[in-house]
Amino acid sequence: MEKDITEEFIKTAKKDIPELKDVFSKIKVVAQDQFVVVRVLGQNTLSKLKESEEDITKVISNIVPNPSVLFSLVENNSPRAKVFTKKRQSYTFTNFIVSDTNRTAFNAMRDVSEEPTGQPIVIFGPPSVGKTHLLKALQYKVKKDGKHSIILLNMKKIVNDIFYHIQNKTFEQYYKDLTSYDYLLIDDLQKAGEMTTSGKGIDKIDSFLFDIYEDFFEKDGKQLVFTCDRSPMALPFSDRVRSRLFSGFAYQIEPPDEKLKRVYIEKVLLKYEPLTIPDSIKETIIENSVNFRQIEELVRFAIEKYADTGDDEYVINLVTMAAKTKRKKHALLTPNDVIEGVCKLMGVEKKDVVTKKTIRDKRVLRAVYIITYILVKELQISQAKVAAILKKKSPMTVNRHLKKAEALRIDDMDFLVELNEITSTILG
């Protein structure tokens, strides 16, 4: 299967061949096994690249061992030249595609863009369904109106900043600066749990989120907005933080439905005009895609293949295979992948989960129930093997964990949400 390695190539080439920086926008680098094709827009660009062929091959060899490199010319006036055109993506409420899967979240964000409410908002849903688009649309609208100050940060950056400022004894000023904004938008809240699995680390982030929430809650002219990839109740924070996150306004965005996928495909295709694909390929993309990012990937893939071959049946098969490969990645998961993934998402230590000792910590036990459920029910691993993996005395212990997990799925809504979100994240 052909793999686009353009971004990886450019990242290294910027350092190793800086004299080519002006032509990076005019190349596409794709690899299949050890064969690498450098597609080049325009004869002048190709001539310039040929002068640095040896250096280019060295850069590619850092990505593909022992590559066999071929340069391919794409004429400026050919239909395929459109593949090299990148239009800057703008994120506004106007170009956000509204449907039943996201209407409530969209309306809430558009309304709060007019004036802060003092009521924190959480937008949650799986990756690539439009959460960050809404945050950026809110930021764009507030900045355009000019009445309020606003900042948008990713939680990963916040975590790094927190520990940096604590270490340098400047945290108090950092916190003061953050809370001085009228709007504080925090994207990918779940990354806090993924980055801080140790007790002290997660406690610091937990306290930070609690204080931020309290500082913005019910204050005139203030607005706090989070996005995350799962329900706030499934995040690995303390009960006081999770309950606050859920006590404001929480809006879920569902994966795009068939109608929304169809509209989005047409929107993506506008970037590649006059290139297009037949309806039969569009329907295949609709059938096999799960989110906006995958739709974009499959449309780009289909455009290139159809421009090359003009064979819709051939491209339909390729698109189907590409989508299935993505979906089946979880089949390559090892039990250790699952254990480490659950521990990271729930903020517990692996050594506390994989142990012969009796587990008394409720959060750790919850993690064991979820791990057991995924290994047995999703990956179809025998209870005897799971017992050995988790260092339990016998398969009967695993059986008890499994029964407990199944009972909690029925009786405990919080557990059900957490189980579904974690399972989706790890297998997705």
**Each residue's pLDDT expressed in tens, for the chain with a length of 428 residues:** 568 899 888 988 888 898 888 888 888 888 877 888 888 888 888 888 888 898 999 999 989 888 888 888 887 766 666 666 655 567 899 999 999 999 999 999 999 999 999 899 999 988 889 999 999 999 999 999 999 999 999 998 999 999 999 999 999 999 999 999 999 999 999 888 766 655 567 788 889 999 999 999 888 889 999 999 888 877 878 888 888 887 778 899 989 999 999 999 999 998 887 788 999 999 999 999 988 988 998 998 898 888 878 889 988 988 888 777 655 554 567 888 889 888 988 888 999 999 998 898 999 999 999 999 988 887 778 888 899 999 988 888 998 999 999 888 877 877 887 887 788 777 75
What sign for the dihedral angle of Cα 230, 233, 238, 240?
Answer: positive
Question: Going by DSSP bridges, is the β-strand pair 35-41/27-32 parallel, antiparallel, or unpaired?
Answer: antiparallel
Looking at residue 309, what is its pLDDT? 84
State CA 183 to chain mean position distance.
23
Residue 124 — φ and ψ, nearest 5°? -130, 155
The encoded tokens of residue 16 equal: 């190793």
Give the integer Cα–Cα distance in Å for 388 and 354: 10
Residue entry with tokens 């590649």: 272
Contacts of residue 95, Cβ cutoff 8 Å, sequence gap at least 6: none
By C-alpha distance, which of 66, 62, 71 is closest to 23? Answer: 71
Residue 332 CB: number of other CB atoms within 10 A?
7
Contacts of residue 208, Cβ cutoff 8 Å, sequence gap at least 6: 158, 162, 175
Give the integer Cα–Cα distance in Å for 31 and 40: 14
Cβ–Cβ under 8 Å, residues 269 and 276? yes
Cβ–Cβ under 8 Å, residues 298 and 288? yes
Counting every residue written for the chain, the total comes to 428
Looking at residue 326, what is its pLDDT? 58
Looking at residue 105, what is its pLDDT? 95
pLDDT digits (tens, 9 = 90+) for 346-398: 888 999 999 998 898 999 999 999 999 988 887 778 888 899 999 988 888 99
Looking at residue 329, what is its pLDDT? 52
By C-alpha distance, which of 428, 319, 288, 294 is closest to 2? Answer: 319
Looking at residue 327, what is its pLDDT? 54
Give the integer Cα–Cα distance in Å for 49 and 38: 10
Give the integer Cα–Cα distance in Å for 186 and 224: 8
Give the integer Cα–Cα distance in Å for 27 and 41: 6
Residue entry with tokens 């089949």: 331
- Furthest CA-CA distance within the chain: 71
Give the integer Cα–Cα distance in Å for 97 and 102: 9
Looking at residue 1, what is its pLDDT? 56
pTM: 0.62
Give the end-to-end CA distance of the chain in Å, rounded to a whole number: 21
Looking at residue 19, what is its pLDDT? 87
By C-alpha distance, which of 268, 252, 231 is closest to 97? Answer: 268
pLDDT digits (tens, 9 = 90+) for 192-242: 876 665 556 778 888 999 999 999 988 888 999 999 988 887 787 888 888
